[in-house]
Structure 1
Amino acid sequence: MTVTLRDVARAADVSVATASRALAGSSLINQATQKHVVQVAAAIGYRTNTVARALKTRKSRLIGLTVHNLENASFRVLASVVQARMQALGYQVILSISNDDAEQEREIFKTLVDHSVDGLIAVPTGSNGAQLLAMEHADTPVICAVRRVTGASLESILAADMEGAYTGTQHLLGLGHRRIGLIVGPLDTTSGKERLAGYTRAMQEAGLTVDPALIHRGRYLPETGVTGGNALLSLATPPTAIFVANHESSVGVLRVVSERGLSIPSDLSLLFYEDSPWFEWQRPAISVVDSGAADMANLAVDRLMSRLGGVANSGREYRIGSRLVERASCRALPAS
């Protein structure tokens, strides 16, 4: 049997109006009464009718969150932090996975609009900017994370990818490596473009010519790591270090290393982009450039809550700093 608001009011010995305000978090109700009503509602199994509430208040208390996949550790962290923060603030999160596919993303955005989400945090493909702007114009705030949408004035929370790749490449150069392979994402993505730029800048500042044969671009997939790793290690003069600046490709590179019987770091130094708990458990533990996913998620929530509170879209871009985490997968080359 469905428990109604009237049942909650009767059990809590308050009026229906008071029960309604208490469950909605109204400032008109004192904290003791609100806490009592919420506890009684939970005890008797009351669930808010979100559809009815949305029709009445025009607020669904639902937030959309889209990511490309959950293989990427940064996306998992993003989803976990956003959900925990939003739930603590009284919202439920609808998590959707786009597989970095523009058509899937388009359908996801349509569904989120149909469900009258109050706001959206999106890791965008970059292909559906018009839909996101339409949501903005309909007073549904949108915060982009990890990637920006070119040509769309949307608030964006990005990693300092150029600086992170520059720092990682400098680290390998400082260890004496000169032939440094790079496996990076597509150049039509913010991260792919900026990580390549950071690598290129560091190599050029070291007085080195950037060898196109040492750079492998591909989608954010393990298969890219397999293809790129094999291509780099099959060169007549293979790299002494590989910087995998394409997180999903990391596992593919590890497979190639294992299949070729290479010892890390004696035969090859490895540096990955974006940390994952199991990189520390790997033997040897993998050095990484950490992109600050938790900080990115927290700032995205802060900005979304500001927007929900009435702050206008500034179209501003925020950057979260990257940091080098040195472990045991990179070694210094002997002086020649």
Structure 2
Amino acid sequence: MTDEDGREATSPVRFRAGQRADVVAYLHQVAGQSGQRLVTVVESTNGVLDGAMMVSGLEVYRADPWALPERPLLGSAPALVLAEAARRDLSALAKLKIDGGTLTGRIDELDAGIARSAAAEEPLKRRGRWIRHGRRTDAKVALTFDDGPHPPFTGQILDVLERYAVPAAFFCVGLHATAGSQEVARMSEAGHVIGNHTWSHPFLPDLSRDQLDEQIERTHEVLALAGGTPSNLFRPPYGSRTPEVVGWLGARDLRTVLWDVEPSDWAMPGADVIAQRVLEQAQPGSVVLMHDGGGDRSQTVEALPAVIEGLLDRGHRIVPLTELLESEGE
């Protein structure tokens, strides 16, 4: 933390993975004691903190690569560098909003990168390595959850899945898995699919190839150490990509799994809205994207029974993601 003159306002404090709530509580404590405006800054290679911060009422900004020096192979720019970027010119940073998430202000860039990637994806689609949904003639759907493990929400989602005896896939963030080994082991023991969702949920176009490789490899390692059985399934954060990123992923032994049903539960629209959106969008072969991590996921937990019961009432079978991908379709 720095003050308006660039001096360190407090001694540096370090937090381990899994201490998101402690980080948020500390920031509120500092703000209350100082009585001054507190601005919190993240950057685009770290998409795991801003959600909880914003829900708690903190003012959060994002510093983009062009405002920062080159980052390390794994991780973000140093905290003091981020603080100085805000002090130097706060107007150059993007103020984040809950309904825009970490990519507030860069959604057009995200969409443009996805559109430009269509041709690069085609060869991978033909080889079954770039998938949005299964065969439309099969009354099967797969439930997937991103950004965990995140207590208590991951455990609560696992409880619901166990109660209904339905499978799911969890695309885990490596940083969260280091502190959530019990949840990862429980996923594996219950027979759920475990996929790779990078180490810190970065916006992939901001990474070099080496940085992307490190994000994937470190996450695979920690999932295995946590007691899970990681698959070769990968999901890019935000679905972000460019033709170059698609090429890098295609060079690895991965199957990239996207989705065709997204209720935007991360924006916290309400449990009823989440369930309604899933049921309105789902069709045979659908891959449903929801979230067990990255913020307050109590609405997702609340919506899940209605999602499961509604899908079953409509004649869909909820199957493991791997079964659905055996018959992937266009």
Task: Give the TM-score of the pair, scaled to structure 2.
Answer: 0.32
Task: Give the TM-score of the pair, scaled to structure 1.
Answer: 0.32
Determine which structure has more spread, i.e. the larger CA radius of gyration: 1
More contact order relative to length (CA 8 Å, sep ≥ 6): 2
